[in-house]
């Protein structure tokens, strides 16, 4: 028996929600005035922020119904708003597409191509933010149900090589969920005595089409795997994976201008004000943002026992 069908359906529903939100957000970005890019995008920031938050809330709201059906009620009801808040503010996320577009323009690319680059980044960020909100809600809900002792990674095709290699892996709740930008993997709850077995990397690989295999592993990788090589020897599973629950991307950066008085900070504050989010707790000109809310996996790691973890989930607003 493979991963229960409800868990797979839950994942597919999440992927559809992330896709719909990203498509809607990209359409708004594509409507900007190319001749007045900053002002045009700034005017659209509140609309886009609300779209993303609605998508996140929708994704987080499905966790309770799914877990109730799978393993029964938990110690309190999930608060989807807390899962959304735990993904962080949107100011930086909504500023980055503009910075990407400006960067391309400064390098001599056409405005049209530069705007497309910004759109691609925004769509990627949106998908990640929606998926993260859902996963945070899932994990908080599982921790709040003492019958659940661990979670298993559920991979839906098409998938990248890194996710394929992690398919079916079982984790304790103190381990963060390894994911990369645009990852739509989810988790299935595991209880003592459960008779189902997860789909392993070899199982997922067998279900992939030749085109999906080439995209995920490359021509040489497919040839090696088909010749008998172990998938783990072909793929470095942790390359590009991270356990943080907010969207991250490696970029060239500088500390110059990142204080409240700097150019970058002033633009970020401008965007965050338009989006209805805070720059962060400030105590002087050099103050930067802080994120005091603990993630569910950190709560479980720090807690003395399950009851303590549930109390902390209540404290941080994940369950009510």
Instruction: Report the sign of the C-alpha dihedral through residues 292, 293, 296, 301, in that order.
Output: positive
Has residue 288 been placed in a domain?
yes
As separate numbers, helices (DSSP H) first and strands (DSSP E) second, the chain gives: 12, 3
State residue 288's pLDDT score. 38
Residue 262 lies in a domain: yes
* Residue 216 within a domain: yes
pLDDT of residue 247: 40
What is residue 198's DSSP assignment? Answer: P
320 domain-assigned: no
Domain membership of residue 99 (yes or no) is yes
Return per-residue pLDDT of the chain as tens, 320 residues: 477 788 888 888 998 999 999 999 999 999 999 999 999 999 999 999 999 999 999 999 999 999 999 899 999 899 999 999 998 878 888 888 999 999 999 999 999 999 999 999 999 999 999 999 999 999 999 999 999 999 999 888 888 898 999 998 888 888 888 888 778 888 899 988 887 888 889 999 999 999 999 999 999 889 989 988 889 888 865 566 766 544 444 433 333 333 444 444 555 566 566 555 554 433 333 333 344 468 899 899 899 999 999 999 999 899 99
Cα distances from 217 to residues 41, 49, 154, 158, 177, in angstroms, run 37, 35, 19, 12, 22
Residues with Cβ within 8 Å of residue 18, at least 6 apart in sequence = 55, 59, 126, 127, 130, 131, 184
At 68 the pLDDT is: 94
Model pTM score: 0.81
Whether 217 contacts 234, CB under 8 Å: yes
Query: Is 127 a member of any domain?
Result: yes
Our count of domains for the chain comes to 1
Residue 100 lies in a domain: yes
State both tokens at 26.
């990209």
Within-domain flag for 40: yes
CA angle, 154 as apex, 149 and 158 as ends, to 5°?
170
| 58: containing domain | 5-315
């Amino acid at each position: 028996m493979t991963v229960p069908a409800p868990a797979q359906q839950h994942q597919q529903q999440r992927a559809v929600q992330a896709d719909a939100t990203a498509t809607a957000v990209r359409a708004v970005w594509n409507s900007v005035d190319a001749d007045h890019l900053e002002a045009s995008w700034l005017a659209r920031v509140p609309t886009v922020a609300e779209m993303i938050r609605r998508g996140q809330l929708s994704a987080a709201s499905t966790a309770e119904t799914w877990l109730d059906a799978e393993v029964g009620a938990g110690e309190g009801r999930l608060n989807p708003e807390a899962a959304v808040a735990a993904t962080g503010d949107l100011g930086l996320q909504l500023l980055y597409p503009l910075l990407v577009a400006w960067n391309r323009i400064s390098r001599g690319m056409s405005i049209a191509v530069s705007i497309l680059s910004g759109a691609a980044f925004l769509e990627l960020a949106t998908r990640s933010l929606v998926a993260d909100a859902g996963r945070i809600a899932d994990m908080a809900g599982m921790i709040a149900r003492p019958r659940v002792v661990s979670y298993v990674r559920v991979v839906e095709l098409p998938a990248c090589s890194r996710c394929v290699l992690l398919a079916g892996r079982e984790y304790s709740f103190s381990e963060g969920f390894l994911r990369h930008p645009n990852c739509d993997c989810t988790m299935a709850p595991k209880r003592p005595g459960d008779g189902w077995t997860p789909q392993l990397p070899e199982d997922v690989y067998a279900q992939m089409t030749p085109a999906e295999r080439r995209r995920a592993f490359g021509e040489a990788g497919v040839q090696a795997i088909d010749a008998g090589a172990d998938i783990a020897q072909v793929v470095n599973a942790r390359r590009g994976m991270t356990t943080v629950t907010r969207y991250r991307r490696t970029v060239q950066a500088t500390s110059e201008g990142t204080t409240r008085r700097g150019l970058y900070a002033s633009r970020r504050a401008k965007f965050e004000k338009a989006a209805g989010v805070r720059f962060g707790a400030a105590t002087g000109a050099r103050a930067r943002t802080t994120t005091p809310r603990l993630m569910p996996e950190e709560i479980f790691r720090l807690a003395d026992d399950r009851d303590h973890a549930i109390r902390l989930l209540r404290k941080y607003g994940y369950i009510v």
